[in-house]
Structure 1
């Protein structure tokens, strides 16, 4: 450890060690021999990591142990130093560190490393009064690639997307993968939000370009949510959460786009979380109910059935729309539980109504797309029929045409299983989706329902009238029933009867009501009337029903 020491050791490391020892001992320690012998002189072995520098300038990490040599009087006569090359150990440690913080598939940083870099970017932003952009990216319908072609193709596509993301950003930016098909791009040191938006637009264009994976030409689009430091948050968790919130808004607004986070999104997200929490308690607290809307034969004026409609009245939120209940139930995993409750309750209450009214009423139950594809749906229906005593022919399951499009093979199998029970199938909201007539002819269905959007303007819009007539004609050619939903005026009723629609329901015949009130309505609608004086008789029955409902309520 003599003169050549500076040529063997990294002088910067020696200086740092000397400074640390000076602070610890309270006296100056020169960056020389004493730096290595400080502990050895005090009777300890100095054991630490150092860097040797070869003559060619290459560096070698070593583990260096220094011990003092002493004579009989314990005086120091020299030092023994032993150095071990720890290059291999360092490589293993670096590899372990890398895989702990980097995604094995794409090599991109993962959440923990992203958090560190975002923290540093925010600190720099505070000093330099600059902005930091966080872009949350989710690939639209990526699951279809894995499900239809295979995970090995999906993995290759993810690597292609990762490479494209890296190619779109600066060296100072960070591209990370959070898992699945979720990525984050960190854009520090920007002055204007417009610069972050420009990055988002570039990513949209590059990711959406066709990708060749083996024999497949694939195309995926991203939904991107953007949060900006410091306006949208000043912590790692806040910025990532708000970017994630904005990304879900981008998906809800048609996908393949970007959205900047706003406080309104945060309020909506908080409201949604409250609803989800309350919905989990709704079944236990008996806040969920079914209301029933009558279905009327347009030939006889006789009530022939009813549609079961889910209702939720919460102490805090009041009456919650089914349009909010079902998506939340699907997202939080409650759809199976709530869907099964709806089927059981509808069957039980329909049977009670049949007994009270003395009429073979058929009840229609809406089944959500996710519930329809659940493996236990057929067992749930069979058990509900058995427990309630409702005959299978008096239950109708309503599904949307989108269900038939998304998973044709499974849909065919599920329809066959339900029909094998003796239960009928109706296609709800027909005409609003994108299915072709070839799809409709492949599936065994019993009823087509004309969506209320066409019925609303059927007396004013020639186009809506033409669509309604076409659906009625299609149903007749397929030898299935046709139902019009959302009938609210006598003009709409006259149009539907003129064009031989089979059945209708809507507020014109009665609003959805609990079973007890439906019983009152049912006694009056149950009376048969001729087709000739249907409209007049209906008006009388409806007024009479309203009078009796008021009497029951008061």
Structure 2
């Protein structure tokens, strides 16, 4: 930090303050004594560290330093001096006389270099010369400063100035104003003559402008500069910002000010000033400030402004013993729309989502775009969890309705995590992080909902990170296993298809089922790589059975929404089938109604392309989703899979099975195949067979089993057929 000298510039060198630094006490004392005899004010420093300490606390005109000192050498002391008081001169007094040392010292700022042992007369002559130079430098700086002020003053009175130049009398009335007022504000300079300067001030700035002229501290050397808005007239539009610099004048300094205005003799100018138009600068500053704290796409506060407001809200909540809520919102299926329709449509969607979200919140709430498709919402001063729950439900309902993006109708959802102050944290970072954790738990449990943060979630999050790491390794180490559940003809009991189901042979936790890791795979986007591995294994295995005599055997695979909604879904699937040499006619892909209805137009096109190649399309969990029967007429659907929850309703009577009855009847009418899932009993099988259900699968014929067990079942089936 630079320290200004607290004494006047040295003119009498005997009054100079000198710091002497050396690590040799004897030499230090000798040099200090010599200088004190000459009338100098000497401070001794034993070593470099002591010298730096004194430079930090005292003001010196000159420092005389040895180069070789322990702890801190002379070069380090010079660097410190340059930092804390750059006006302090330096003379090196050292036994080191090599060219490199001398050169380095002079480059480091030393004014001169004296070799030990020194001649006293030479020492004093060098010292006086250095102090004289210091005095000249200070005097030059003082003159330069006065010249700069004088030049600035003269610039003000140049009538060709691009700024408004004006003079006021003692009562604040205009007695001169240049013609620049006409082009900038639309006033005639003559009409303002004799009018008070308040006449052109914006009403919000009248008080500040009046006070500026009454301030007794302003002088010609210390003018007052303020920013105010001036009123425009005529063709001018909005009021404009001006930077006004003004100061009082007197007859001695400004003889012409006594009777400046010839039309009103005797009126004396008492204030001189200029007004510079800074409207564009103010607008640029406002825009830069807006950019710094807002997201330009949605015009919402950004992360920086959100954290500022959250900090303030936490302080107020702590003081007033109130609650507040932080919500973390993440759009569901946004990435798919962005990848499919393009970033321009994605931007339009974000703007449309913002409008709906803003319609659900209170005036004092803060909705911000945190990044990408993530938003945060601050609800200050709420009463309880129910207030936050009510807002969360409104947000979810607002986003559920379809969005119209040009010719496209798209659906998104929103997953919301909620952290309450002070239960879920008392600091900014805790509340945001815990709201984020709660949001991820919503994602893992099906999306399009909300959850409040609880401490158990932190434990789950730690497990989640560990499981995510293990899952990535599982993909690299081929730890995934494919199990197969038979799809059996209801009439003759023959295996006509196999549904491929994934298992994870975890090296430590043993065999894991889909419910243990598929939600995480979806959330982390590992589902694509996982599905490709499963499909590759299943295609290779089932192809062997097809070539081994089971030529009509069908492979059924479940596909995740992420895969189906990907722009290159068809291209990727076809490429993988070709790589594995698997016949497209033996593949049946299973997707849910919700996936279809999320983007009916795009999904329809993809399914038609696959159907044209011979791939069969099955609707999984039919009846649990949108159940909009209209799409069944327009899509190449081959099979409906009755969800096991409906099959479970079948008991001994027919009353509890009305939904199954309706689905089977509808499938027959549309000439679609039917597969009933979750068949476990003779009664269920008999009932379904009586309805005319084509195929069944479930524990009645066994759970999903590894390839070895399925191979034995197929061999036995072939053997029976031969008998």
Establish whether TM, by shorter chain, passes 0.5. Answer: yes
Alpha-carbon offset, residue 485 of structure 1: 1.5
- 2:661 maps to 1:469: yes
Separation in 1, partners of 2:552, 2:700: 22
Alpha-carbon offset, residue 290 of structure 1: 0.7
Separation in 2, partners of 1:368, 1:431: 18
Stretch of structure 1 that moved more, 393-402 or 224-233 = 224-233
Q: Deviations over 1:378-407 (max 9, x none)?
A: 333333433333332222112222233222
Q: Deviations over 1:406-433 (max 9, x none)?
A: 2222222112211222222222212222
Q: Partner residue of 2:531?
A: 339
Contact 2:302 2:369 in 1 (8 A): yes
One of 54, 61, 77 as aligned partner of 2:209: 54
Alpha-carbon offset, residue 45 of structure 1: 5.8
Comparing both chains, which one has the higher relative contact order based on Cα–Cα distances under 8 Å and sequence gaps of 6 or more? 1
Stretch of structure 1 that moved more, 316-325 or 496-505 = 316-325
Alpha-carbon offset, residue 312 of structure 1: 1.5
- 2:519 maps to 1:330: no
What TM-score do you get using the length of structure 2 for normalisation? 0.55
Q: Partner residue of 2:714?
A: 522
Stretch of structure 1 that moved more, 256-265 or 517-526 = 256-265
Q: Partner residue of 1:497?
A: 689
- Count of aligned pairs between the two proteins: 471
Separation in 2, partners of 1:123, 1:492: 63
Q: Within 5 Å, which residues of 2 pair with 1:100-499?
A: 100-105=292-297, 107-123=299-315, 131-137=323-329, 154=349, 157=352, 160-161=355-356, 164=359, 168-170=362-364, 174-179=366-371, 182-188=374-380, 190=381, 193-194=383-384, 197-198=386-387, 201=390, 205=394, 224-247=416-439, 259-356=451-548, 360-460=552-652, 462-499=654-691
SS in 1 for 2:476: coil
SS in 2 for 1:364: strand
Q: Partner residue of 2:249?
A: none
Separation in 1, partners of 2:283, 2:567: 50
Alpha-carbon offset, residue 162 of structure 1: 6.6
Alpha-carbon offset, residue 435 of structure 1: 2.2
Q: Deviations over 1:115-173 (max 9, x none)?
A: 2332344455556655443233567888999979967865664564475466x144xx6
Contact 2:329 2:374 in 1 (8 A): yes
Contact 1:246 1:261 in 2 (8 A): yes
Separation in 1, partners of 2:444, 2:566: 24
Q: Deviations over 1:196-219 (max 9, x none)?
A: 643653575599679999999x99
Stretch of structure 1 that moved more, 231-240 or 507-516 = 231-240
Contact 1:136 1:240 in 2 (8 A): yes
Stretches of structure 2 that go unaligned for 5 or more consecutive residues are: 1-55, 59-137, 149-206, 214-224, 228-242, 246-272
What TM-score do you get using the length of structure 1 for normalisation? 0.70
Separation in 1, partners of 2:312, 2:448: 31
Contact 1:145 1:153 in 2 (8 A): no
Stretch of structure 1 that moved more, 344-353 or 267-276 = 267-276
RMSD: 4.6
SS in 2 for 1:54: helix
SS in 2 for 1:390: coil
Contact 2:445 2:519 in 1 (8 A): no
SS in 1 for 2:468: helix
Separation in 1, partners of 2:588, 2:530: 18
